[in-house]
Every structure is written in structure tokens, then in C-alpha cells.
Structure 1
Amino acid sequence: MLPALELPIRGRTVANVVFAAGYAGVFGGRPKWLSATGFRWGIGGAALVFAGYGVALSIPALRRLPLEVAERVPETSTLEWIALHIPVGTVLAEEAVFRGTLDPLLDDALGPVAPVAGAIDFGLWHIEPARAAGDPVAVTVAATTLAGLGFGWLRRRSGSATAPALVHLAINAGGALAPIAARWIAARRP
């Protein structure tokens, strides 16, 4: 439905948050955002993600990869994209829906297959964004399904949607910053 509305980026961010809040409200979301355990697991996971980006940027062959990726900052500045749209319009909204609401419901209803069902749903959620970005749909669904498995594991391990939200934020923000960092490093090295 959202793509059919053809909203600008700020409108999509608002729509995502409104949808997530409504979804969590209707289905009894249990994100436990202020969990100390969630913060510990999330900060640790985010640190690993940023370390991975740092290693990739320090290796010339890997540093070229983000240089080949078109910087996707639609309709806004990089700062606004990283400070507002990624953390609020994407991460907060998706983690409220998937790890804060859907995963606990699936755990209650499906038991041991719930992690896989939630991860597949998360992967399928990314079909339209992949199409809109011109990304390969199958690769995007596979990658986001794997991410969904990891995010779900973090939520189950920490008891909070905060842990996967912080890791999700690190992945997405790091992905937006990696091409900028790679260009900066390339400009300073012979």
C-alpha cells in the first residue's frame, strides 16, 4: 500500500511509524525498549558490525565494494537519512512490527518453528523495497531473511527488541556511511 501512496521520504517515515504503532497496539506489541540486557546485547552486536565495516574499509579490495554501490540517499541529505529515516522510519518501525510484536506472537503460536517463520516474513517484507531500489529481489529476500534470523535470535536472547534494533541500525547506517568513508579513504591514499 505504501508505494501506491507515492509519498516523499518524510511522509514514508511518518507512515511507517504510524503503521508500526498501530500494528503493535492492535496486536499487543512487547518490545521492552528500555531493557538493560537489550542495550548490552545491542551495543555489543553493533560494535561487531562497525568493526566489520572498519575491517572491510581497511582492506583495499573490500574497500572498492562500497565505492561501486550507488549512494542511495533519496530526496534528502545523508545526515537526515542517517539521523532520522534509518533509525525511525526503518529500524524503529520494523523492529516494533517484527521483533516487538510479530516474533512474540509467532513464538506463542508456532513454538520451535517461529524463528524461521518470522525471518521469512521479514525477508518477504523487503520484496517491494528491493524492486523500488532496483536490487535483485531473490538476493535481498535471502539476505533479509538471514538478518531476520539473527535479529530474532537477539530478541529471544535479550528479551528485548532493543538488541536487534541497535544491530539493525548499525548495519543500515554503516551501509549508508561505507561508500562515503571509502571515498574519503581513497582520496587520502595514493
Structure 2
Amino acid sequence: MTVPRTRVHLHPVRLRLGLILAIAILAGSNLVSNRVLTGLAYVPWNLAVAALLIVVARRCGLSWADLGLQNRRLRKGLLVGAVAASLVVLIYTIGWALPATRSAFADQRAAGSVQTLLFAALIQIPLGTVLLEEIAFRGVLPALFGGERFWPTALASSALFGLWHVLPSFGVTAANAAMGATIGGIGLLAQTVLVVLAMTGAGMLLMVYRRWGGHLVSPMIAHVATNSLGVLIAWLVITHT
């Protein structure tokens, strides 16, 4: 991740206060999203939180380039994102084609009508999930951490990304029989730790895409491909078996 020279003039205290505020906003939003909001409120809430995080970052003196939103790198970002999405398609296609791994896609959370599927894949995931998570964990937080050193910054923001998934992970073994059979007997605490570690690793990969592409659009495309295509395959497995 290239850091503009103007970063050296940013006030470290302002960055630290901005970081604390951003983490507090995300913690509150995570609780609201997973324990309070229902249905259609999810997307506008997360869009508002994403906008608020950008305001915080800009008030701290961060540039659009710091956040991975500079126009001049958009083309390369799109290319890297397309390559990452192609890898997701390849892996998912192989997983779906093999009987031994197909059951891993049978997640009951994807059950529902075609309209529900399309809303989840085309609106809820891209606008309600991916946009906020990429702006937060691959854009705002790395910049507020002080992003001059890529790997420590990537690890810190990815660890928070892993913790972000603690509440959504509750009940996942009940919804996914294959996952339940694999880790369902190890206890809730161990399951949660595994989810956090797995999502920290996923966050690191998305940070690498951000670095390669030089733009947030790279991990956004990869993230949408992973989640939306995963929901589609889960729906197909559930409804056609």
C-alpha cells in the first residue's frame, strides 16, 4: 500500500483519536446490526456508518489516496479485483462440482425465494456488507493506524475484522450441517476463536488485494464475488438436492 508523502504532516494525536472513534463507531454498529436491526434497515444503516467513517477519516486529515479511493488507480484496481473474482469463481466451481465438498455450501441461511436470493446477492451483500467492511477495514482503519508499514497495519486491521465477525458467527454451525459436523463439537468458545482466525486471514488477503490494486475497488470486487456467489451456490445446493 503506497502512502502519500503528505502523511508525514498529519498530527499523530488526531489520528489516534480518530482511530479510537472509528473503532467505537464500528463496535456500536456491529451490535446494532446483529442484535437490533431487522430486514430492510440493514443496508441504509451500514451505508450511513460507512459515510460517517469517511467523514471521521477526512476530518483527521486523511486524503482520498490514503483511503484507497483515488481515481488514478481505479483502472488497476478493477483489473486486480477481476483477477481475484475469477479465482473465487474457479474455487467455488470446483467445490460445487465435487460431491465431497458440495455439502459445505448447504447453508440454510441462504434458503428462500428467488427474490430473496437476488436481494441478498445484488443489494444486501454489496451495499450493506461489503461497502462498509471494505471502507472500514481496508480503507479507514489502516490509514488511521498509520499505514507506513504495510504488514503490521494489515494485521491490526485484519484482527479487528476477525473480531467484527464474532456476533455473526453465533449459530453458524446450526445453519450449516457440514460445518456443524466439523467443528460443532468443540464448544462455542473454540468455534468463535476459529471464526476470528479465519476472518483475520481473509482480511489479510483482502489487504493484499488492496495493496496490489492500489484501490479499495480490488478487495470490494473480491469480497462481493466471495459472498454473493457463495449465497447463490448455497441456494442452488439447498433447492436442488
- TM-score band w.r.t. shorter chain: 0.7 to 0.9
Structure 2, unaligned runs of 5 or more:
1-27, 59-63, 174-190
TM-score by length of structure 1 reads 0.85
Q: Which has the larger radius of gyration?
A: 2
In 2, Cα distance between equivalents of 1:60 and 1:116: 35
Are the structure 2 counterparts of residues 129 and 33 from structure 1 closer, same or farther at C-alpha, using a change threshold of 3 Å?
Answer: farther
Correspondence 1:48 to 2:48:
no
Q: Percent identity?
A: 27
State the match for 1:161 in structure 2.
216
Asked whether the equivalents of residues 9 and 74 of structure 1 are also in contact (C-alpha less than 8 Å), the reply is: no
Q: Aligned-pair distance for 1:112?
A: 4.3
Q: Give 1:31's aligned amino acid.
A: G
1:140-179 to 2 correspondence within 5 Å? Answer: 140-179=195-234
* Higher mean C-alpha displacement, 135-144 vs 154-163: 135-144
In 1, Cα distance between equivalents of 2:76 and 2:146: 20
Q: Aligned-pair distance for 1:180?
A: 2.4
Q: Aligned-pair distance for 1:165?
A: 0.6
State the match for 2:47 in structure 1.
17
State the match for 1:139 in structure 2.
194
Asked whether the equivalents of residues 123 and 148 of structure 1 are also in contact (C-alpha less than 8 Å), the reply is: yes
- Corresponding pairs, count: 184
Q: Aligned-pair distance for 1:82?
A: 0.8
State the match for 2:109 in structure 1.
71
In 2, Cα distance between equivalents of 1:143 and 1:81: 23
Asked whether the equivalents of residues 63 and 182 of structure 1 are also in contact (C-alpha less than 8 Å), the reply is: yes
In 2, Cα distance between equivalents of 1:150 and 1:7: 29
**Residues 28-55 of structure 1: per-residue CA shift (max 9 Å, x gap):** 3623275111100001000100111001
Please report the RMSD computed on the Cα atoms of aligned residues, expressed in angstroms: 2.4
Asked whether the equivalents of residues 107 and 115 of structure 1 are also in contact (C-alpha less than 8 Å), the reply is: no
Asked whether the equivalents of residues 165 and 196 of structure 2 are also in contact (C-alpha less than 8 Å), the reply is: yes
Q: Aligned-pair distance for 1:66?
A: 1.6
Q: Aligned-pair distance for 1:110?
A: 5.7
Q: Give 1:56's aligned amino acid.
A: G
State the match for 1:39 in structure 2.
78
Are the structure 2 counterparts of residues 87 and 130 from structure 1 closer, same or farther at C-alpha, using a change threshold of 3 Å?
Answer: same
Q: Aligned-pair distance for 1:72?
A: 3.6
In 2, Cα distance between equivalents of 1:111 and 1:43: 23
SS in 2 for 1:105: helix
Structure 1, unaligned runs of 5 or more:
none
TM-score by length of structure 2 reads 0.69
Q: Give 1:10's aligned amino acid.
A: L
In 2, Cα distance between equivalents of 1:66 and 1:147: 18
Asked whether the equivalents of residues 73 and 81 of structure 1 are also in contact (C-alpha less than 8 Å), the reply is: no
**Residues 136-156 of structure 1: per-residue CA shift (max 9 Å, x gap):** 322221111001000111111
1:106 to 145, 149, 156: 145
Q: Give 1:60's aligned amino acid.
A: P
Are the structure 2 counterparts of residues 57 and 49 from structure 1 closer, same or farther at C-alpha, using a change threshold of 3 Å?
Answer: same
